[in-house]
Chain A
Amino acid sequence: MVETTHEPTERVGLLRVLGPAHVWALGVGIVLVGEYMGWNFAVGKGGAYAALMACWFAGILYTCVAMIDSEVTSTVAAAGGQYTQAKHIIGPLMAFNVGLYLVFAYTMLEAGNAITVGFLVDTVSAMTGHSGIDQRPFIILAIMFLAWLNYRGVLATLTFNLVITAFAFTAIILLFLSLKPWSGDSLLAHADLMTDLPYGWLGVLAAMHFGLWFYLGIEGTTQAAEEVRSPARSLPFGTLAGIMTLLTAATLTWYICVGLMPWEYLGQSGVPLFDAARLSESNVLMVILGFGTLFATLASANGCINDASRAWFAMGRDHYLPAWFGAVHPKYRTPYRAIIFLVPIALIFALGAPLDQVITFSILSGLLEYTFMPFNVILFRKKWPLESIKRGYEHPFHPLPAIMLLLLCSVAYFAVFLGYGTQLIAMLIFYVLVSLWFHFWRYRFVYRAGQFTMPWNKPAGY
């Protein structure tokens, strides 16, 4: 159990019950849904080859994220993840913004998952002769059920995630093997279905926008820092195993889908892997991938509720938000007020916004968070050099991953700008306004020294 050194008294803390497998399940569980839906919009933005290049460039971006994050988080073992890192390394305003990035990235992703659950139910209903059903009850039910699960306890929540994530990942492998890519009579027809780049190289840049969806959320493993038994070992292990799993799943998914569907269809499909299973001529595979899609969306929404609520809770505990949100349930030891509060926000977007918009909101918040990471790790190494703090993991080739991450983020901003520039500017204006609100109003309610909770030396240069 974690005790805090804040001035506000904490009666109970979060439970330390999780192992590396749960960390893997949290990270991969949030992200794997990206293989089941959303990534294929990259095909629509640039064509099949562009999506593959986006998949790999995004893979490099997220490898940098995972390496950087693993080092910092192996020393900052507290709920809030990157929010807590920013608070100790850059400063309160940055931390407040990072906390909001986390909450919005995960809440929008949760909304996107719920939309997909509704769409899947609708698709399956239409296939069985019951077209035109109302998707909204399924969207509401999915969010409410998972919020209840999160309310009841983190161990059950992430054990549930472990099981359904493993099933969804296995389903992709099974689909790949069943299509026998090594065989001459395979249904995969890349030579006939692949085309030149429909938008040229500009489309490759544009595809980077949804290429992020292959991996978005892997950094959420850090949110479990305060509930993991051995954070210095489990967090780097779970995060790096997670990114390796996702690189494999992303490449397999791309290979399967572009070998089965014309790119124009794939680029707008709501459930591409399920469509791939429909084309596999196997009812068993169709059922497995149908459940795989359902489980992947539920696992992702589940992890998102977990992560968004931890970030909101941590900000409440520090008084960055009203302290009321910083409460832990006396019996279940979960941040129950934060969990409940974020439910209607997810519902507002799940019921009222189109899927590509919701995904874009999530990606933009994620992108802002990744832009913060290079500054974070460079300042971390500067303020606390390697010999000054024992790290559970030291990422190699510093500062190369940080520079690479910043460059790839710049490319991704341009990719989002191509078509979704209005949202990008609207979101930036929002963050500028809330930053001013925090600095000139909200920060007066925050204890100064009480924010710094790590047992570290004074930072160099201060």
Chain B
Amino acid sequence: MARYVPPKQGKIGQVIDVIVLLVLAIGSLYIPLFMGMAGSTKTPQVVENPTWESLGQNATMVQRWNELGYADPASAADIITARFDYTFSWFSLGLMVVILVGYFAMMLILSEKEYREMISEKFGNGGRH
């Protein structure tokens, strides 16, 4: 097989390639943050005049809250009552599975094509190079 000789990339081209990669990386990671779609936040429940008992805390728990700097139940109420919301749509789950499986499938198929070319050039039709 003829040996592939890659074109020489100029300095400006190298800089552009790095910028493209960085913009894609930082953009995709930051866009969900900027749009407020990232992460799941815990939502505290509103409790009027909370007491340690109404917050479900026993004597040992109260003692530890105090030692951690939470002297009264009102100061700890938001932390104690906050919960994640784990409801999800099956459509979103299905979308995630499709993208994930599709991504790995695409990568394995394209990799295999590149790999065969690489092995063919490296070893030709012989055994050990």
Contact = CB atoms under 8 A, between A and B. Distances in A.
Interface residues of B, number: 74
B17 A321 contact: yes
B28 A279 contact: no
Contacts of A260: 64
B46 interface: no
B6 A445 contact: yes
Contacts of B6: 319, 444-447
Nearest to A198: B83
Interface stretch (A147-155, A213-221, A291-299, A431-439): A431-439
Contacts of A128: none
Q: Which of B18, B102, B115, B120: most chain A CB closer than 10 A?
A: B115
Interface in A415-451: 417-435, 437, 439, 442-449, 451
A2 to B, nearest CB: 18
B96 A361 contact: no
A44 B80 CA distance: 10
A424 B40 CA distance: 12
Given A192-B58, A278-B67, A452 B119 contact: yes
B122 A430 contact: no
A83 interface: no
A261 interface: yes
Nearest to A268: B79
B71 interface: no
B88 A262 contact: no
A357 B20 contact: no
Interface stretch (A22-30, A71-79, A92-100, A170-178): A92-100
Interface string A182-199: 000000010011000011
A91 B118 contact: yes
Given A319-B6, A431-B103, A425 B96 contact: yes
A206 B86 contact: yes
Interface residues of A, number: 83
A446 B26 CA distance: 25
B124 to A, nearest CB: 9
B25 A104 contact: yes
A432 B103 contact: yes
Contact of A261 (B58, B68, B88): B68
Contacts of B79: 264-265, 268
A193 B61 contact: yes
Interface stretch (A245-253, A348-356, A395-403): A348-356
A275 B125 CA distance: 64
A371 interface: yes
Interface stretch (A12-20, A327-335, A454-462): A454-462
Contact of A442 (B3, B17, B83): B17
23 contacts: A91-B110, A91-B118, A192-B59, A264-B82, A265-B79, A322-B14, A324-B14, A414-B93, A417-B93, A420-B40, A421-B88, A421-B93, A423-B38, A425-B95, A432-B103, A434-B25, A435-B103, A435-B106, A435-B110, A439-B114, A442-B17, A443-B114, A452-B129
Given A345-B26, A375-B104, A435-B110, 13 more contacts: A95-B111, A198-B83, A261-B64, A268-B82, A352-B30, A357-B39, A417-B93, A424-B96, A430-B25, A430-B29, A432-B99, A434-B25, A447-B6
Top 7 nearest A-B pairs by Cβ distance?
Answer: A91-B111, A419-B40, A91-B115, A322-B14, A430-B28, A192-B60, A449-B122
Interface of B: 3-4, 6-7, 9, 14-15, 17-18, 20-22, 24-26, 28-33, 37-40, 42, 57-61, 64-65, 67-68, 70, 76, 79-80, 82-84, 86, 88, 92-93, 95-96, 99-100, 102-104, 106-108, 110-123, 126-129
